[in-house]
Amino acid sequence: MRILAVTNQKGGVGKTTTSVNLAASLAAKNKLVLLIDLDPQGNATTGSGIDKSAIKTSIYDVLIQSKSLNDIVIQCERGGFDLAPSNRNLAGAEVELVNESKRETRLKAALQHLKKDYDYVLLDCPPALNLITVNALTAADAVLIPMQCEYYALEGLSDLVGTIKKVRSNLNPHIEIEGLLKTLFDKRNMLAQQVSDQLTAHFGDKVYETIIPRNIRLAEAPSHGMPILMYDRSFITRCGCLFKTCRRNHTKRNEEVTWLNLKDSVEDLMHYCQTLMKIHQRTKALYKHYRLAT
C-alpha cells in the first residue's frame, strides 16, 4: 500500500482535481484505491459524485470520535474507487484535536486498521499547514505537490518543504517528496514558463515532465460529480468515430490513441490524464477541420 498526500497550503492549485482524477485513473488501471477527503470544503467528496450534505459519518468521526475508517468508506461507482468523505464538520476538528492525545498520529493509526488491501491511498489535503495536514504528512509515504506556476508559488513551496522537514525529523522519518506537478498551466504566460524553469532548477527530476494544462473539461467535471475519465467517456467514443472517419479520408491515424498501452507508475498515470486532454484538444481541432457536428 502506498500512501500519497496531495498537499500544498495554497488553495485553488489543483490538489482536489489531481486527487480525484488520479484516483479514477489508478482505478481504471485496476488498482484498489482509497481517496480520503481531508478538506472541510468536501470538494473531493462532491467531485467523486457524493452528496456531502447527505453523509452521516465522515473523516471527522475518524479523527475525533475514533470511529473506524472501514465504517465511513463509500464506494464511488463512477470513479471506481473508495472514498472517505468529508464535510463541514471537519472545520471544527482542528480546534478539537489540540487537546487530544496523539493528535498528529490519528490518521496514521486509523490507516493501520484498514480491512481492504488498497494499492494506493490518496490524501486530499486542505489549503493550510494545519494539524490535519500534519496528520496527512505523518501518515504518508510521500507527498505529491500540485503547483500553479505563478510568482507566490515558490514562496509557499519553501514553507511546505520546511514543514515536511519538521515532520521528517519529529513524526515520520520515511516521508519523501514523490513529485511536483505543474497544474493549470498556460504556456502562453511568460511568468509561468519562468517559474517552471526555476522549479526545475531547484527540484530537478522531482518535477514531473507531464504538465496539466488549464482545461475547461477538467473544471466542468466536478460539477457533474465525475472524474475526467468518466465525464469524457462520450467524447472518447466520439473520438473513436472520428478516427474512423479520418481513416476513410485516408488521413493518418493519430498516435495519441496509444494511451491504452500506458504502463503502471504514477508518473505514467499523469501522462494518462494529460493524453486524454490532448485527445480532447485534438478532437476539437479535427471537428473544426472536418466540420463535423458534435
Binding of ligand ADP by 14 (CB under 6 A): yes
| CB 43 to Mg ion: min, Å | 5
Short-list 224, 282, 274, 225, CA closest to 253: 282
Output 31 or 217, the one with its CB closest to ligand ADP: 217
**How are beta strands 2-6 and 120-124 bridged, if at all?**
parallel
Q: Name residues contacting Mg ion, limited to 21-60 (CB under 5 A).
A: 39, 43
Q: Contact 149/180 with Cβ under 8 angstroms?
A: no
Short-list 16, 22, 4, CA closest to 270: 22
Binding of ligand ADP by 214 (CB under 6 A): yes
Question: Cα–Cα distance between 276 and 294 in angstroms, integer?
Answer: 18
Among 1, 12, 194, 292, binds ligand ADP (CB under 6 A): 12
Part in contact with ligand ADP (CB under 6 A); list of ranges 8-16, 109-117, 228-236, 239-247 = 8-16
Binding of ligand ADP by 11 (CB under 6 A): yes
Q: Contact 19/138 with Cβ under 8 angstroms?
A: no
| CB 213 to ligand ADP: min, Å | 6
Binding of Mg ion by 15 (CB under 5 A): yes
Q: Which amino acid is at 246?
A: C
Q: Which three cell numbers stand for residue 241?
A: 468515430
What angle (nearest 5°) sits at the alpha carbon of residue 157, between those of residues 156 and 160? 95
Report what 86 binds from Mg ion, ligand ADP, none; CB cut-off 5-8 Å by kind.
none
Which residues contact ligand ADP (rule: CB under 6 A)? 11-17, 43, 127, 183-184, 212, 214-215, 218-219, 222
